[in-house]
A and B are shown apart, each in its own frame.
Chain A
Amino acid sequence: MIPDTVYGAILLSVIDFFLSFVVISGIGFVLSLFPYLNRLGEIDEKKLREGGH
């Protein structure tokens, strides 16, 4: 897909660097929604540990 040349290396770098920012921003956006999960209720950590093995 990418030519084995210096131009190909630059192309690969630009696309990869740009997409990395886009994807990690997407993960950041998903994480910014996490506080809303707490509206579903609270987990009792003590009870969790009691059920452990």
Chain B
Amino acid sequence: MFDQILFFFNALLQQTGAANFTFGNLVMIAIGGTMIYLAIAKHYEPLLLIGIGFSCIVANVPGPPDVPGGPPVSALLYVVKEGGLFHYAYEGVAKLIIPPLIFLGVGAMTDFGPMIANPKLVILGAGAHLGIFVALILAKLCGFTINEAGAIGIIGGADGPMAIFVTVKLAPHLLGPISVAAYSYMALMPMIQPPVMRLLTNPAERKIEMAQIRKVSKLEKIVFPAVIAIIVNLFFPPVAPLITMLMLGNLLKEVGVTERLAKTAGGALMNIIIIILTVAIGSTMAADKFLNWDTILIVVLGLLAFLFGTASGVVTAKIMNLFMKVKINPLIGSAGIASVPIAARVSHIVANQENPHNHLIFHAMGPNLAGVFGTAISGGIMLALLGVN
């Protein structure tokens, strides 16, 4: 009888996740916990990190095997499986439904005035993308195919939806690790960028105050989305769905007669999309899939892409200063990496720490918004050169 009780207890234990818990699960739970800590304690992009961190934790709590003798399946992965809610959430990401909707929301929330007001600074939106190409070449040297290397490189564009979009086109099997790396580093930019920015500038440069930007009229703001949509659709059809939606969202905001739609696109719809996106991304972080050399390489290359992108943005701004009568603060160069408005906020904070009277946020928003187009252009050219539509 004792043997029977022991047998049933053992059978019961096998039906739980406890028997299948691995060291890798523990590592990933610690990573998820760190993300939540950074979101709560340091306020590092809580909208992204809470969802990703929580679903990363749950994805690493193993459940019983799906089939007798098979690998353990986490409770979260049960809902990710076909028929479950997050299966369709992930499909929304993988089938490129969610990225254009994110761009619609971003457009509806964004004032492109700082970019229109100072066209000279738009060049920083290209200058800060050296990281894309450094990561691309290094990824190729590490043995990835050129399509995989291109998808890894685009992490350096610091634009989550664009990284997803290009990855699905070039290397869909890498969607999980690339989206995790892109969104995690975007959220961690307040930690990643400042050391590079300080290393490449001296205190005098960081103290440079910039003149107030001109006021942009309503007419200019209404014409802007249509002009950009025409240019992008004409020259970069591969990335047109994203930029078209970005510009539609912005037009809804600027015209003034569609306030309800703009509020929905940038508010409720955006919030729903963020919840779905973060859980879909975090649910790909199960230890057995995530803790392998390819993923670790992608995470390291993504970090290098961010570091080189930040550095090249600052250096481009310093080169521009050689030719400009009125100097710009080189800290705004790093904002050209995209990741709106995180990178612009970082530029502002670093400058403000050096000179409390310096408010760079509006100046940094110009290159920051140009960075969105810079990433789209780089991604579009990459897709075209690799023969992908």
Could you list which residues of chain A lie within 8 angstroms of chain B, going by C-beta atoms? Answer: 1-6, 8-10, 12-17, 19-21, 23-32, 34-35, 37-38, 40-43, 45, 48-49, 51-53
Contact = CB atoms under 8 A, between A and B. Distances in A.
Contact of A37 (B130, B150, B220, B235): B220
Contacts of A40: 219
Contact of B133 (A16, A29, A34): A16
B115 interface: yes
A40 B153 CA distance: 43
Interface of B: 115-116, 119-120, 122-123, 125-127, 129-130, 132-133, 136-137, 139-141, 145-147, 149-150, 153, 214, 216-220, 222-224, 227-228, 231, 235, 255-260, 370, 373-374, 377-378, 381-382, 385-387
A21 B258 contact: no
Nearest to B384: A1
Given A20-B126, A20-B378, A51 B257 contact: yes
Chain B facing A: main interface SS: helix
B219 A42 contact: yes
A18 B228 CA distance: 20
Main secondary structure of the interface of A (DSSP, over half): helix
Contacts, number: 140
B220 A23 contact: no
A30 B217 contact: no
A12 B385 CA distance: 7
Contacts of A2: 146, 385-386
B120 to A, nearest CB: 7
Contact of A10 (B137, B153, B235, B259): B137
A38 B256 contact: no
Among A8, A15, A19, A40, which residue has the most Cβ atoms of chain B within 10 A? A19
Contacts of A17: 126, 129-130, 133, 378
A28 B218 CA distance: 19
Nearest to B220: A34
Nearest to A34: B220
Given A5-B146, A9-B137, A17-B126, 17 more contacts: A2-B386, A6-B141, A13-B136, A15-B381, A15-B385, A16-B132, A19-B381, A20-B381, A21-B123, A23-B126, A27-B231, A28-B122, A34-B216, A41-B219, A43-B218, A52-B260, A53-B257
10 contacts: A12-B146, A16-B378, A23-B377, A26-B231, A27-B122, A35-B214, A37-B223, A40-B219, A41-B219, A52-B256
Given A23-B235, A29-B119, A38-B217, A8 B146 contact: yes
Contacts of A30: 227, 231
A48 B255 contact: yes
Contact of A31 (B115, B127, B257): B115
A28 B146 contact: no
Contact of B119 (A28, A42, A43): A28
B287 to A, nearest CB: 31
Contacts of B385: 1-2, 12, 15-16
B301 to A, nearest CB: 12
B244 to A, nearest CB: 15
Given A48-B257, A52-B258, A34 B116 contact: yes
Contacts of A27: 122, 228, 231, 370, 373
Given A12-B150, A30-B227, A48-B255, A21 B218 contact: no
A22 B260 CA distance: 38
Contacts of B258: 52-53
A32 to B, nearest CB: 4
A24 B374 contact: yes
Given A24-B377, A38-B220, A52-B259, A9 B231 contact: no
A13 B220 contact: no
